[in-house]
Homo-oligomer: A and B are copies of this chain.
Amino acid sequence: MDAKENLITSAQALLWERGYVGMSPKAIQQRAGAGQGSMYHHFSGKAALALAAIQRSAAEMQAQIDAELNFQGTALAQITAFLQRERDVLRGCRMGRLAQDPEIIALEELRQPVDEIFSGLQQRLIDVLDSGQANHEFLYVFETADLAAMIVSVLQGAYVVARAENSEVPFKRAMSGLLFTLGTLTKPAI
């Protein structure tokens, strides 16, 4: 087993569960099955290890997003598929979790990967919506950047509300509401 790898995956899990503030070096080491010496040999400290873990998580998410929003089918079909993929709702979003952490937000280098995921996802959605506009899939001309920001926000907010209520129900409702409203943009009222 590669201790350095174990430390990174361990930190990834703890950042997801407890955030930067709630993650201690000791907890990382125990979960990784590594000692103090090992951790401080591979990383200069908690911040450096967290950076490696965040970058890894960001890369994993980016790969998933790239695979999902792949420009096949209509804009609505792509976005629907993206929104309906299986998610561990009550666990929340790895990146959204970090956006709430005061230390992540305070340290530019830790916030940057989080920023890039959200900026990149929005741009991807803008591209999809723009192609939908070009193909006249929508009944309206709209600011695609606004719709993209709204879609990402529904997803992030639905995780938040689900955790608050300790239930997947509000998440599913928010997705249904979003898919309904997006649907009305493509077909006229009855």
Q: Which residues from chain A sit less than 8 Å from chain B, CB to CB?
A: 17-19, 21-22, 92, 95-103, 105, 111, 114-115, 117-119, 122, 139-140, 142-143, 145-161, 163-166, 170-171, 173-174, 176-178, 180-182, 184-185, 188-190
- Which residue of the partner chain B has the closest CB to A99? B164
Q: Is the interface of A mostly helix, strand, loop or mixed?
A: helix
The answer to whether A170 and B118 touch across the interface, beta carbons within 8 angstroms, is yes
The answer to whether A160 and B164 touch across the interface, beta carbons within 8 angstroms, is no
The answer to whether B114 and A164 touch across the interface, beta carbons within 8 angstroms, is yes
The answer to whether B163 and A158 touch across the interface, beta carbons within 8 angstroms, is no
The answer to whether A150 and B154 touch across the interface, beta carbons within 8 angstroms, is yes
Work out how many copies of this chain go into the complex.
Answer: 2
4 pairs of A and B residues whose beta carbons are closest in the complex: A157-B157, A150-B177, A153-B157, A156-B157
A64 to B: closest C-beta gap in Å: 17
- Which residue of the partner chain B has the closest CB to A93? B160
* In the complex, chain B residues whose CB is within 8 Å of the CB of A111: 164, 166
A113 to B: closest C-beta gap in Å: 10
* In the complex, chain B residues whose CB is within 8 Å of the CB of A143: 173, 176-177, 180
Docked complex Cα distance between A150 and B159 (Å)? 11
- Which residue of the partner chain B has the closest CB to A113? B164
A150-B177, A173-B149 known; A102 vs B158 contact (CB < 8 Å) = no
